[in-house]
Structure 1
Amino acid sequence: MAIEKCREYFRKFNMEDRILEFDVSSATVELAASAVGCEPERIAKTMSFKVEEKPVLIVMAGDARIDNGKYKGTFHTKAKMLSPEEVEERIGHAVGGVCPFGIQEDVTVYLDESLKRFETVFPACGSSNSAIELTIDELEQYSDFEGWIDVCKNWQ
């Protein structure tokens, strides 16, 4: 199970006990915000894309949306999301639980600027009923991210 991959990943940092598991689904921003008890924008949703046939994750605020022009300016290609089957195979987590922790080694992770306005955010932890509260510094540290990017709209 993918949540076990996340638990194992965070065990290396003695943080596995910080993973939250819910009796309800947290598979969408709205459901996650309800389960966690926070504003939807503080849910750090992770979207899966394909850039030159390589898997890329972009972690963004819950109220942010991909801006196709900014995306193309950053990656020099149109935004192409992975199919649900590709997500599970190429990333290591199923849609609804995708996160930048415990993922396949060839996946590149980016964090979107839309997250920087928060002290803490709640990314999923590999399942459709999990999350972890992280500071932005912790998100940087534990996501093994490539860099900050600005590819979103509707959050300013």
Structure 2
Amino acid sequence: MSLQSVKDFFAVHAPDISVIETEASSATVALAAEAHGVDPDQIAKTICLRAGDEVVLLVASGMSRLDNRKFRDRFGAKPRMLEADEVVARTSHPVGGVCPFGVAEPLQIYCDESLRRFELVVPAGGATNAAVKISPQKMAELTSAIWVDVCQPPKAPEA
């Protein structure tokens, strides 16, 4: 159902965007980058978090890490990752395929500033072998996302 809910979302809201299904798994940032021929940081990973009593979806660039202090300052609570079964129940998407499109229940979606530096990002598409290519701004518009700065930039490779 999850992959279909994403396809249905785009059929209604952005019929010009297609869900790309691959033979290879794209369940991790590294696998997704390889499957779609992009830099790992262009993968728009979606994390399902609890902030106090609220459950939210945060979309961030692939190699960025959540900054607990920035998150706490923004949301007034420490971020807590949801267990896989609760992620599926709330989004309809399996871990590795979680995205901000076609979610099972209304959740506030946040896009981290780490995404803005790309013309195109690749979020999952509701399955571990599905994704879409979309501009970060279009993704935020389609999902009514709020822009936040709650991630640390990726660490530079050591020389």
Q: TM-score range by the shorter chain?
A: over 0.9
Q: What letter corresponds to residue 154 of structure 1 in structure 2?
A: P
Cα RMSD for the two superposed structures: 1.4
Map of 2:8 onto structure 1: 8
TM-aligned CA deviation for residue 53 of structure 1: 2.8
Shift of 1:144: 2.3
Over 3 Å counting, the alpha-carbon distance change for 1:117 and 1:88 in structure 2 is: same
User: Structure 1 residues 118, 23: CA separation in 2 closer, same or farther (over 3 Å shift)?
Assistant: same
Query: Which stretch of the first structure deviates more once superposed, 47-56 or 35-44?
Result: 47-56
CA–CA separation in structure 2 for the residues paired with 1:115 and 1:137: 9
Residue 105 in structure 1 maps to residue 105 in structure 2: yes
Normalising by structure 1, we get a TM-score of 0.94
Paired residues of 2:114 and 2:153 also in contact (CA < 8 A): no
In structure 2, the partner of 1:155 is: 154
Contact 2:17-2:134 within 8 A present in 1 as well: no
Post-superposition, which runs of at least 4 consecutive aligned residues in structure 1 deviate over 6 A?
A: none
C-alpha deviation, 1:12, in angstroms: 0.6
Distance 1:9 1:116, change over 3 A: same
SS in 2 for 1:12: helix
Q: Which amino acid aligns with 2:77?
A: T
> 5+ unaligned residues in a row in structure 2: which ranges?
none
Hey, what's the Cα distance between the residues in 1 that align with 2:107 and 2:13? 21
Letter in 2 for 1:110: Y
**Equivalences, count:** 155
**What pairs up with 1:133-148 in 2 under 5 angstroms?**
133-145=133-145, 147-148=146-147
1:128 is displaced (CA, Å) by 0.2
Secondary structure at the aligned position of 1:44 is classed as strand
Q: Distance in 1 between matches of 2:14 and 2:153?
A: 36
Instruction: Supply the distance in 1 between the matched residues of 2:50 and 2:92 (Cα, whole angstroms).
Output: 15
Secondary structure, in 3 states, of the residue corresponding to 2:80? coil
Q: Equivalents in 1 of 2:14, 2:120: separation in Å?
A: 19
> 2 CA distance for matches of 1:56 and 1:92?
14
The change in CA–CA distance for 1:151 and 1:14 in structure 2 (over 3 A counts) is: closer
> CA contact under 8 A between 2:27 and 2:96: conserved in structure 1?
yes
CA shift digits 1:76-110 (9 cap, x unpaired): 11110110011000122110000000013331100
Q: TM-score, normalised by structure 2?
A: 0.92
